[in-house]
């Protein structure tokens, strides 16, 4: 199990590193905080989402059902987490639902590090 988690974690971190290096080099993406804090945010978040995927895969015997359930979990996370658009003017129920999703906390922490220069202590919770 540890090999599954670590192999997926290495792939996710490698891809994120490449994406951020290219974005910084080609697009001059603003970065007010430290890259190591952003790396810790992504490592913790990737572990949470990898483990969520492995839990779903371990509980279901059918691959198609597992894929469907993971899509059912991931699409609301993408819609309500603030990845594509802000939920500032959304219904309070939608905002409350978003706080239950792990991707919301990843997006908020990454934005705090990149745009506000938040440190490790500020994004720890």
Q: What is the spatial distance between Cα 102 and Cα 118, in angstroms, rounded to a whole number?
A: 19
Q: In which domain, by residue range, is 102 found?
A: 2-123
Per-residue pLDDT of the chain (125 residues; tens, 9 = 90+): 889 889 999 999 999 889 888 888 898 888 898 889 989 999 998 998 898 888 888 888 888 888 888 888 889 888 898 888 888 888 899 899 999 988 898 889 988 998 888 888 888 87
Identify the pLDDT of residue 23. Answer: 84
Looking at residue 18, its pLDDT comes to: 92
Indicate the number of domains in the chain.
1
Work out the angle at residue 115's Cα, subtended by the Cα atoms of residues 40 and 46, and round it to the nearest 5 degrees.
25
State the pTM of this model: 0.79
Quick check: helix, strand or coil at residue 60?
Answer: coil
Position 9 scores a pLDDT of: 92
Locate all alpha helices (DSSP H) within 60-101, ordered by sequence: 63-80, 92-98
Joined together, the tokens standing for residue 5 give: 């988690």
C-beta separation of 41 from 65 below 8 A: no
Q: What is the pLDDT of residue 53?
A: 86
């Amino acid at each position: 199990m540890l090999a599954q988690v670590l192999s997926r974690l290495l792939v996710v971190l490698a891809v994120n590193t490449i994406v951020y290096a290219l974005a910084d080099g080609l697009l001059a993406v603003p970065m007010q905080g430290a890259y190591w804090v952003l790396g810790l945010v992504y490592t913790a978040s990737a572990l949470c989402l990898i483990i969520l995927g492995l839990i779903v895969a371990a509980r279901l015997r059918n691959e198609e059902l597992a894929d469907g359930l993971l899509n059912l979990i991931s699409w609301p996370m993408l819609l309500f987490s603030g990845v594509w658009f802000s939920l500032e003017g959304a219904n309070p129920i939608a905002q409350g639902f978003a706080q239950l999703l792990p991707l919301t906390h990843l997006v908020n922490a990454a934005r705090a590090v990149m745009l506000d220069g938040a440190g490790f202590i500020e994004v720890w919770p």
